[in-house]
Chains A and B, each alone.
Chain A
Amino acid sequence: SQQGEEDPQALSIQEGENATMNCSYKTSINNLQWYRQNSGRGLVHLILIRSNEREKHSGRLRVTLDTSKKSSSLLITASRAADTASYFCATDNTGFQKLVFGTGTRLLVSP
């Protein structure tokens, strides 16, 4: 399977703590994207990092990419209960947005 792996599968933290999720993939990529999904609903695009970038920030989100290790991490700082969701990485190795999704991390942020 081409699918990427994410760890941890589930993460439970308290509000205000940081959450780190890791993603590993198998092939060379054009870009890597992170998505959030609330309760089995539609996906929300969070951030895209290109293969020639190493780090990206967006608000409380920080994404790193290590193409030599074929891995990425998503850091959510100062987490909130509203951050409770499943988070997926997805790689695009064609440049045409045909995404290969990771297995996902279920994040639970308790008040």
Chain B
Amino acid sequence: SAVISQKPSRDICQRGTSLTIQCQVDSQVTMMFWYRQQPGQSLTLIATANQGSEATYESGFVIDKFPISRPNLTFSTLTVSNMSPEDSSIYLCSVEGRRGGRNEQFFGPGTRLTVL
């Protein structure tokens, strides 16, 4: 299994500012994923972060708004840039790991972002 931590756990930010969210995994993983969960909604994949290459963004998400770093196999950051109230969401990172002989996806506890 994989244990994932995220920082910060929550933040309240002013519009126009940027916030960088950190995701740390206790084991080396090839792919890390960033999801957004808007209030009362389901999760939407933002991007896939691979070490040593640029992140791959899903439709509707762009690098200028959500720059991602992946400096090594256990760490990634997601920045939410030039924030607006519409960016208020829970941001979660996830990785693929093994448990019970099977692959499954493990999620971090999430970062709850409120933009005023």
Contact = CB atoms under 8 A, between A and B. Distances in A.
Interface of A: 3, 33, 35, 40-45, 48, 88, 90, 96-104
Given A43-B94, A45-B106, 20 more contacts: A3-B42, A33-B104, A33-B105, A40-B37, A42-B109, A43-B43, A43-B92, A43-B107, A44-B107, A45-B104, A48-B102, A88-B43, A96-B48, A97-B94, A97-B96, A97-B105, A99-B43, A99-B45, A100-B45, A104-B42
B44 interface: yes
Nearest to A40: B90
Contacts, number: 54
Interface residues of B, number: 24
Contact of A98 (B45, B102, B106): B45
Nearest to A95: B103
A76 to B, nearest CB: 19
Interface in B25-50: 31, 33, 37, 41-45, 48
Contact of B104 (A40, A48, A100, A101): A48
B105 A42 contact: no
Interface string B86-109: 000010101010000011111111
B92 A97 contact: no
